[in-house]
Amino acid sequence: MKKILLFLIYFGKLPNYFLLWLNAAKYNENVDFCIMSDCCFDEFDLPSNVDLVNMPFDELKEKIQSKFDFKISLNNYGRISQFRPALAYIFPEIVEGYDYWGFIECDLIYGDIRHFITDNVLESHDKIFKLGHFQIFRNNDSMNTLFMRKYPNALDYRFAFSKDILFFEELIGMQNIADAANCKTYENNIFADVRSGELMFNTSTYGYNDEKYAGECLFEYTKGKLYKVTYDKKICRTEILYAHLQKRDMEISTTNTAEYLIVPNRFLPYETITEDFFQNIRSSLTAKANLYRKMIDNKSKEAAKKRNRKICWWQLRLRGFKIRGGGVWPKRKESEKTEQVKTTYRIAIFVLYFGKLPDYTQLFLNTAAYNPTINFRFVTDQDMEKYKIPENVMIESCTFEQIREKIQFKFDFKINLEKPYKLCDYRPAYGYIFEDELSEFDFWGHCDLDIVLGDLRSFLREEILEKYEKIYQWGHLCLYKNSKENNRRFTADAGMNYRKVFSSPISYVFDEIEGIQKKFDILHIPTYKKRDCADISPWHYRFVRAESYVTKDERKDLNYKKQLFYWEDGKIYRAAIVNHQVEQREFSYLHFQKRNIIMRGDQFYEAFYITRDGIIPKTPRKQITEAEMEKQNGSNFWKELIFRINYHKFIWKRRLSKYFFRK
């Protein structure tokens, strides 16, 4: 029998169902596994076919760097996936003696691998599967260095390894190289890739026509075998290789690791899935969703009553109440609070918006939901009843007059705050104004509504948050370390005078570079200034990144003639034609200032393009072509001219308003 070795490279906190992953490995005794991680495995009894290589992340980074003659980019755990096609080249001593090697992710529950990946399949193929969560390669010099080959329509490994490029291990990278090299790839759809963000388990088909692998489903695991169970007039069971539970927080309600059921967001004790069982799961999920909507409705109604009583939320706090999601609960006593282990820096981001909410509000809320470890405080005077509010977004209702009263209470001089837009100048003082609300957070910040959020935590890494007092220098999203000294730095006798700013009706843009950032620079307070975001210029017809305050190094990769921005699986990307090939870059968020981005209906897509015409659905994991870039973000001379004319009109109007009319 052919010998197979599968790598699992994982750094950070293991998923709570990792024991089930190990149990599946035990039943696959004809496959060996090599786990590389910095986690503690003392609580696990590793099967005999699982080897552990325990190492810190920096040691892995040094090992990978030693194999290449250029500087690699490996600044966070998520970047490790890009190097997986090179594992046999990086660790030749580990794969020695095996006929095949590959990699696997830990958010998979897999069945009988050798039942599907037989010797006949292995002998007739060089590569097994295309997707990044599970791949196998023939172990020889040609395949182990396949990632180094250069072809016109494939990502170059040097670029992918040295830049913040993602998905090199997937279709746009490694598979394009394999196809160009005429490698035989096994493509059978014998797995279930569960879509994230959906109520029921639904699977993606990736162009396969076999309908038995698509649609709503549950899973049965029994002694090394995994079955996909569907229901359409009758129960149908199909044995599959694995189920990919991407971005699902799963609860474990069983102690039997040999037999269990996998239903949406939970592992249950094993029982035969009947029609009634399937229907009950579907009904309970629907009921749970309706209950959540009802809860949000009740909170919105409670918030409306609160506004009618003219009692603002910080007054309720003073009376011993805690505000969450638009509702009101009594504060817990200190003795009732449960002790929690701090796993990461806690972040709260304020969004203050008064007046009619823009059409893209739900888009912001949807992408905020994909940042569950960040707390968003949405303060508004609008009724939020029609919106779907994520659990990490707290709606706090108050009027503009009440927020003005709150801010005035914090200063010993008369402030000028007649219009909501003037709140931008007060943003650097939020840490001081709302300091009673921020005691449980390590960082606080502010952001605009006209942004599409990516994976913020992949950019706001622990080492950055530890090193800097301020993160980013733009008003559309900025963070400050939550300390008494830092929260009062806006009052420092350097740069703009905060008393002048707060007592004038003029907008000084105090929250941006020429305001608070200049203070930090004069005071030599460390600020993280890397331009991680895609700040889209409002003065171009095409979506291009703004050029203001761009450094010489940033200008090289600022824009390309053909480029397209999109959101997929909680991340923001730009696809661009660079040196006649498609290259990807990830951003922390996209800012589409002064554009009314339209969401067509209330449906939220698994992947979508962000264009001048609004949100356009994108096929998940589909490679973006040059033609698609031209279609969604092409140029037009006359429309571009109109945008430039509007730009000059805006500049002169603002100058007249600011310097002549003093507004």
Residue 89 tokens read as: 């080249």
Residue 199 inside a domain? The answer is yes
C-alpha distance across the termini of the chain, in Å: 80
Instruction: Please indicate, yes or no, whether residues 311 and 262 belong to a single structural domain of this protein.
Output: no
Which of the 8 DSSP states describes residue 513? I
pLDDT band, residue 222 (cuts 50/70/90)? very high
Residue 327 tokens read as: 């509702």
Q: What is the 3-state secondary structure (H, E, C) of 257-323?
A: CCEEEEECCEEEECCCCCHHHHHHHHHHHHHHHHHHHHHHHHHHHHHHHHHHCCCCHHHHHHCCEEE
Sequence-separated (6 or more) residues with CB below 8 Å from residue 226: 109, 110, 111, 112, 219, 220, 239, 240, 241, 242, 243
119: amino acid identity, one letter: D
Instruction: Please indicate, yes or no, whether residues 319 and 381 belong to a single structural domain of this protein.
Output: yes
Sequence-separated (6 or more) residues with CB below 8 Å from residue 256: 269, 270
Identify whether the C-beta of residue 30 lies closer than 8 Å to the C-beta of residue 114: yes
Identify whether the C-beta of residue 179 lies closer than 8 Å to the C-beta of residue 127: no
Identify whether the C-beta of residue 588 lies closer than 8 Å to the C-beta of residue 459: yes
Residue 17 tokens read as: 């169902």
Instruction: Please indicate, yes or no, whether residues 321 and 394 belong to a single structural domain of this protein.
Output: yes
The tally of domains found in the chain comes to 4
**Predicted local distance difference test score (pLDDT) of residue 184:** 94
Q: Which domain holds residue 442?
A: 286-331+343-447+461-515
Instruction: Please indicate, yes or no, whether residues 162 and 133 belong to a single structural domain of this protein.
Output: yes
**Predicted local distance difference test score (pLDDT) of residue 202:** 78
Higher pLDDT, 193 or 425: 425
What does each C-alpha distance from 494 to 113, 449, 497 come to in angstroms?
65, 30, 7
Residue 205 inside a domain? The answer is yes
pLDDT band, residue 315 (cuts 50/70/90)? very low
**Predicted local distance difference test score (pLDDT) of residue 321:** 40
Which segments of 416-522 does DSSP mark as H helices, in order?
423-426, 430-433, 462-467, 498-502, 518-522
Long-range contacts of 387-393 (CB under 8 A, 24+ apart): 387/361, 387/362, 388/293, 388/296, 388/362, 388/602, 389/296, 389/325, 389/326, 389/365, 390/365, 390/366, 391/325, 392/368, 393/325, 393/365, 393/368, 393/369
Residue 294 inside a domain? The answer is yes
Q: Is the pLDDT of residue 277 over 80?
A: yes
515: amino acid identity, one letter: G
* CATH code for position 160: 3.90.550
Place of tokens 């291990």: 169
Q: Is the pLDDT of residue 319 over 90?
A: no
Instruction: Please indicate, yes or no, whether residues 311 and 374 belong to a single structural domain of this protein.
Output: yes
Sequence-separated (6 or more) residues with CB below 8 Å from residue 643: 539, 540, 541
Q: Is the pLDDT of residue 254 over 80?
A: yes
pLDDT band, residue 162 (cuts 50/70/90)? confident
| Short-list 494, 484, 479, CA closest to 526 | 479
| Short-list 629, 605, 624, CA closest to 615 | 605
What does each C-alpha distance from 556 to 74, 256, 469, 547, 578 come to in angstroms?
21, 56, 28, 11, 11
Sequence-separated (6 or more) residues with CB below 8 Å from residue 628: 564
Instruction: Please indicate, yes or no, whether residues 366 and 266 belong to a single structural domain of this protein.
Output: no
* Cross-strand bridge partners of residue 596: none
Rounded (10°) CA dihedral 173, 175, 179, 180? 20
Burial class (CB in 10 A: 0-12, 13-18, 19+), 234: exposed
Can you tell me the distance from the alpha carbon of 183 to that of 186, in angstroms, rounded to the nearest whole number?
10
Q: Rg (Cα) of the chain, in Å, rounded?
A: 27
Residue 238 inside a domain? The answer is yes
Q: Is the pLDDT of residue 31 over 80?
A: yes
Can you tell me the distance from the alpha carbon of 40 to that of 51, in angstroms, rounded to the nearest whole number?
14
Q: Is the pLDDT of residue 357 over 90?
A: yes
Instruction: Please indicate, yes or no, whether residues 366 and 505 belong to a single structural domain of this protein.
Output: yes
- Residues in the chain, how many? 663
Query: What three-state secondary structure class fits 34?
Result: strand
Residue 522 inside a domain? The answer is no
Instruction: Please indicate, yes or no, whether residues 25 and 102 belong to a single structural domain of this protein.
Output: yes
Q: By mean pLDDT, which of 160-169, 294-303, 402-411, 524-533 is the weakest?
A: 294-303
pLDDT tens digits along 563-597: 999 999 899 999 999 998 999 999 999 998 878 78
Identify whether the C-beta of residue 573 lies closer than 8 Å to the C-beta of residue 584: yes
Strand order across the beta sheet in which 4-10 lies: 50-54, 31-37, 4-10, 100-104, 134-138, 127-128, 185-186
Domain boundary among 515, 541, 561: 515
Q: By mean pLDDT, which of 8-17, 164-173, 249-258, 282-291 is the weakest?
A: 282-291
What does each C-alpha distance from 85 to 82, 88, 130, 370, 461 come to in angstroms?
7, 8, 11, 27, 25
Q: Is the pLDDT of residue 43 over 90?
A: no
**Predicted local distance difference test score (pLDDT) of residue 342:** 41
| Short-list 55, 4, 74, 26, CA closest to 463 | 74
Chain-wide mean pLDDT for the chain? 84
Can you tell me the distance from the alpha carbon of 237 to that of 253, in angstroms, rounded to the nearest whole number?
23
Percentage of the residues of the chain whose pLDDT score is greater than 90: 54
Place of tokens 């109520």: 199
pLDDT tens digits along 510-542: 999 999 999 999 999 999 999 999 999 887 888
Domain boundary among 185, 204, 220: 185
Which of the 8 DSSP states describes residue 643? H
pLDDT tens digits along 80-89: 988 999 999 9
Residue 214 tokens read as: 């698509």
Residue 537 inside a domain? The answer is no
**Predicted local distance difference test score (pLDDT) of residue 77:** 82
Can you tell me the distance from the alpha carbon of 76 to that of 81, in angstroms, rounded to the nearest whole number?
10
**Predicted local distance difference test score (pLDDT) of residue 654:** 63
| Short-list 10, 8, 6, CA closest to 57 | 10
Residue 456 inside a domain? The answer is no
Instruction: Please indicate, yes or no, whether residues 180 and 199 belong to a single structural domain of this protein.
Output: no
Higher pLDDT, 658 or 579: 579
Helices H, strands E: what count in the chain? 21, 35
Domain boundary among 273, 302, 319: 273
Q: By mean pLDDT, which of 205-209, 450-454, 599-603 is the weakest?
A: 205-209
Which of the 8 DSSP states describes residue 657? I
| Short-list 588, 522, 531, 572, CA closest to 554 | 531
Q: Is the pLDDT of residue 497 over 90?
A: yes
Identify whether the C-beta of residue 395 lies closer than 8 Å to the C-beta of residue 385: no
pLDDT band, residue 154 (cuts 50/70/90)? confident
341: amino acid identity, one letter: V
Instruction: Please indicate, yes or no, whether residues 99 and 178 belong to a single structural domain of this protein.
Output: yes
pLDDT band, residue 194 (cuts 50/70/90)? confident
Q: Is the pLDDT of residue 278 over 80?
A: yes
- pTM for this model (two decimals): 0.54
* Cross-strand bridge partners of residue 219: 228, 262
Which segments of 309-409 does DSSP mark as H helices, in order?
313-318, 361-369, 400-409
Instruction: Please indicate, yes or no, whether residues 245 and 304 belong to a single structural domain of this protein.
Output: no
Instruction: Please indicate, yes or no, whether residues 400 and 439 belong to a single structural domain of this protein.
Output: yes
Handedness of CA 426, 429, 431, 437 (dihedral sign): negative
pLDDT tens digits along 394-431: 999 889 999 999 999 899 899 999 999 999 999 999 99
Mean pLDDT of 124-153: 92
CA 618 to chain centre: 17
Residue 657 inside a domain? The answer is no
**Predicted local distance difference test score (pLDDT) of residue 314:** 44
